[in-house]
A and B are shown apart, each in its own frame.
Chain A
Amino acid sequence: MSSSSKVSRPWGQISAGLVGGLLLALAVGVTFSIYWPSEPFDRMFLGALLFPLIWIAAMLYAFTADSGKRAWLTIGILSLVFTAFDALGLYLHQAA
């Protein structure tokens, strides 16, 4: 069965959950810390509070994904999108 073979060799899913999930959680946390409409002292904590939840969610998604490739693709694209938002936000903040 294909599913059982994937469960027995899930290094792609595991690395996507652990490494990709960490990067995604950081990127999402930073995005919220930049864009959330409140004082810097307040929104700084939003990113920190979201970080564990995003990482856990990413790990659960990656571990249950059909393949490591798919897990990396989804988490990687999301990470890149949020990182792009972060870069744009930081640029706009510094330009303003």
Chain B
Amino acid sequence: MQQRTRKIMYETHAWAGLILGIFLFVICFSGSVSLFVGELATWEHPELRRSWNPAPFSLESRLQDARAAGFNYPNLFVRMPNPARPYLHLMHFSDGEHYELRLDPHDGSVLPKTHAEIAEFLGHLHTDLHLPYPFGRYLIGFSGIFLLLLMVTGIVIHRKRWAELFLTRRPKTRRMWLTDLHKLLGTWSLPFITVIAFTGAILGLLGFLGGFMALASYDGDVAAATAAFTGPAAQKQDKPGRMLSLDALRDRALQEQPKLQIQYVEISEYGDQGAHVEFSGPVRGTLTFQNTFIYNLHSGAEVHRVDWLAGGLWSRLFGMVTPLHFASFGGTAMKWLYFFLGLGMTLLSATGTMIWLEKRLNQRRKAAAPASTERFARVALGICGGLPAATIALFWVHRLYPRADDHDLVGAPLVFWLVWLALTLVACFGPPPKALARPLLLGSGLAAAAVPVLNGLTTGHFFWDSWRMNWFYVFGVDATFLLLGLGACWYARRFHPAPAAKTEMADSITQPQES
């Protein structure tokens, strides 16, 4: 490859990484955490913690229990129980408001009214950056494109990538160490980054692309393209009708596709002759998006079916995008693998930015460091260091804030934003980054390690209790906090692995080599 091409690739990698590094850090970190939205939703509400019972239950009986409890909306969205959320979760959305009810799937008892705030908050940070749709979603999608660009240019400039699968030298400077770590993380997580960046770009830009592709494939009829996905909407006929049993229709869907794992049930216009029920979920043993069966709740007629396995090559490939991005295949082990690889990507973003900063600051060591570089270092530390701390604060607030049984914890997101903002301001106007980074990491580590202790003290559910009661979602969240917290404390002790010297040697490592 020509030296000029390699240099351009290097410049592209460096500048795209610099512009997007902090942004990618936020997306990767929030994405890693939000993999466990189900587990977190149950963890944050001790009253919902219960053992997972996979025995079948009557969906029709639970619907009638909900209606008897006053939750008798004609349009309902039902999340079926799973090991992370071992309860039936009914939701109704109306005029921007949403109403929820949780039931024990086996005895129908109504569970305390709560709202999975941490889980939803972190999930929304990852998918929309808490910006109005579609701005945040499209920003995420475009960042997926540029992450792919970073990956391709990274492959081109690092020719010795197989040799970089292992660290074989002892780094003498911090920049050398950061560079080795960046290459190591990038090389090991290359397939993962490819999958996440590509699927993230598709998912983020689906709303943007969908219009164009529907225009092309359905002669401009976007409604027809949407209906091919979702099926026709239920049309209210204003004629009350007898509703069929949800259990009978569920059995019918399972007869049609015995490996269907029903995750969601959507009921539309219940009580009317035009009512629909939709059963959707992945097919066990396959890598597919939600297969869907829609029936008329009055006549039992099949209204629509989406079978991603029965379509052509491209729809089958597209059906893999969502499970590949959210690790909704392969069970808990796959989610943990994604979690650690996601944290690796987070670290990759951080080390990329840090390498650039080290280079800039060391280049100007004899003169004063440029003010813009110093400012950028402060902003980067504030945003990247503040995000984990703010996330931990969210968990602390949830455990310490006294609240009524049916009252949502409205202040937790505010605490998150305030902590993040405060730490960013401290980083921008307080001590220099090198002085602040270590105490920030140590403080975050201690706060994270204390979360399981706080959980035990406030709920009575210590590690051993959750393990003994098979509440693995509680145990998993606590153990992760403890391990990551202790890991951060350990790393904070040796934060500066070597004196900053021999910058010329480090420069030679990150500059592109001649072909």
Task: Give the residues in chain A near B220, CB-CB below 8 Å.
Answer: 90, 94
Digit string of B211-240 for contact with A (CB within 8 Å is 1, else 0)?
A: 011111111100001001000000000000
Are B312 and A56 interface neighbours, CB within 8 A?
no
Give the complex CA separation of A48 and B225 in angstroms: 13
Evaluate whether A47 and B313 lie within 8 angstroms (CB atoms) in the complex, with A7-B7, A52-B148, A55-B145 already known.
no
Cβ of A34 and Cβ of B216 under 8 Å apart? yes
Cβ-defined partner of A51 (8 Å) among B8, B12, B209, B312: B209
B209 to chain A, nearest CB (A): 5
Complex contacts, B210 vs chain A, CB 8 Å: 48
Q: Contact: B228 with A40, CB < 8 Å?
A: yes
Contact of A45 among B212, B215, B218, B317 (CB under 8 A): B317
Q: In whole angstroms, what is the CA distance A15 to B320 when docked?
A: 33
Cβ-defined contact, B311 with A39, below 8 A: yes
If A7-B7, A40-B228 touch, whether A56 touches B218 (CB-CB below 8 Å) is no
B145-A38 in contact (CB<8A): no
Residues of chain A from 9 to 57 with CB closer than 8 A to chain B in the complex = 10, 26, 29-31, 33-34, 36, 38-49, 51-52, 55-56
Interface residues of B in 118-160 (CB under 8 A from A): 144-145, 148-149, 152-153
Give Cα A56 to B154, complex, Å: 13
Give the docked Cα–Cα distance between A60 and B8 (Å).
9
Given A29-B209, A30-B213, A41 and B228 contact (CB-CB distance below 8 Å)? yes
- Do B219 and A48 touch across chains, with their CB atoms under 8 A apart? no
Contacts of A89 in B (CB 8 A): 216
Q: How far is the CA of A34 from the CA of B216 in the complex (A)?
A: 5
Interface residue? B177 (CB, 8 A): no
**Dominant SS at the A interface?**
helix
User: B201 at the A/B interface (Cβ < 8 Å)?
Assistant: yes
User: Which residue of the partner chain B has the closest CB to A52?
Assistant: B201
Once A41-B315, A48-B318 are accepted as A-B contacts, the answer to whether A86 and B216 lie under 8 Å apart by CB is: yes
Is B205 positioned at the interface, with any CB of A under 8 Å from its CB? yes
Whether the Cβ atoms of B8 and A64 lie closer than 8 Å is yes
Q: How far is the CA of A44 from the CA of B11 in the complex (A)?
A: 36
- Assess A30 versus B216: contact at CB under 8 Å? Given A7-B7, A48-B318: yes
Closest chain A residue, CB of each to CB of B6: A64
Bound CA–CA A89/B210 (angstroms): 18
A59 at interface, CB cutoff 8 A: yes
Q: A44-B217, A90-B220 are in contact. Are A38 and B4 (CB under 8 A)?
A: no
User: Please, which residues of chain B bring their CB within 8 A of the CB of A63?
Assistant: 8-9, 12
Q: A38-B312, A43-B217, A48-B206 are in contact. List 11 more A-B contacts (CB 8 A).
A: A29-B209, A30-B212, A38-B314, A44-B217, A44-B228, A49-B314, A49-B318, A52-B144, A59-B149, A60-B152, A63-B8
Residues of A within 8 A of B (CB): 3, 7, 10, 26, 29-31, 33-34, 36, 38-49, 51-52, 55-56, 59-60, 63-64, 86, 89-90, 93-94
Q: List 8 A-B contacts (CB under 8 A).
A: A7-B4, A33-B216, A36-B314, A39-B311, A42-B312, A44-B315, A46-B314, A47-B212
